[in-house]
Amino acid sequence: MHRRLATGLAASALAVITVAVTATSATAAPADKPQVLSNWTQTSASSYNSWAAARANQSAWSAYQFDWSTDYCSSSPDNPFGFPFANSCARHDFGYRNYKAAGSFNANKARLDSAFYEDLKRICNGYSGASKAACNSTAWTYYQAVRAFG
């Protein structure tokens, strides 16, 4: 009787441990999450393009538990003077939100702000003449705002 009871209790305990370990590993983000986050928040066009592709297919990255939420350019226009800054603002939000969640925002803020500015300048490179000058001036203003208030 005791042996049967002990075997039953051991089996029950093992089942509980298995469920707990499975639940923990199912909710834990992959170990390379910091590297993926870093890759998507660099100043290069390839970093932006990788992030944009992942953003378009967020479900493929669900195990990483990234915060994809955005308010785009916050209280500033998303498309000032017709310049399409919204996606650059979304990537900037992505970096801010995910580095804050990781507890390493202060160490990465300057790079995130620089990446934002590089993204905006790449948009401006699609213009010429007075439009390019206006775009670059607006990009500089947005960059200075996030450096000071972001």
How far from the centroid of its chain's Cα atoms is residue 36's Cα? 9
Alpha helices in 28-128 (DSSP H): 33-39, 45-56, 86-102, 105-124
Q: Nearest 5°: phi and psi at 28?
A: -80, 135
**Phi then psi dihedrals of residue 59, to 5 deg:** -60, -30
Which of these ranges, 28-32, 106-110, 115-119, has the smallest mean pLDDT? Answer: 28-32
pLDDT, position 27: 73
Residue range 20-45, pLDDT digits in tens? 333 444 578 999 999 999 999 999 99
117: confidence class by pLDDT, cuts 50, 70, 90:
very high
Average pLDDT value over all residues in the chain: 88
Per-residue pLDDT of 53-80, as tens digits, reads: 999 999 999 999 999 999 999 999 999 9
Active centre residues (catalytic): 92
- Give 123's pLDDT tier (boundaries 50, 70, 90): very high
Is the pLDDT at 91 greater than 50? The verdict is yes
Whole-angstrom Cα distance, residue 96 to residue 57? 20
Q: What percent of the chain has pLDDT over 70?
A: 83
In the three-class reduction of DSSP (H, G, I as helix; E, B as strand; rest coil), residue 134 is classed as helix
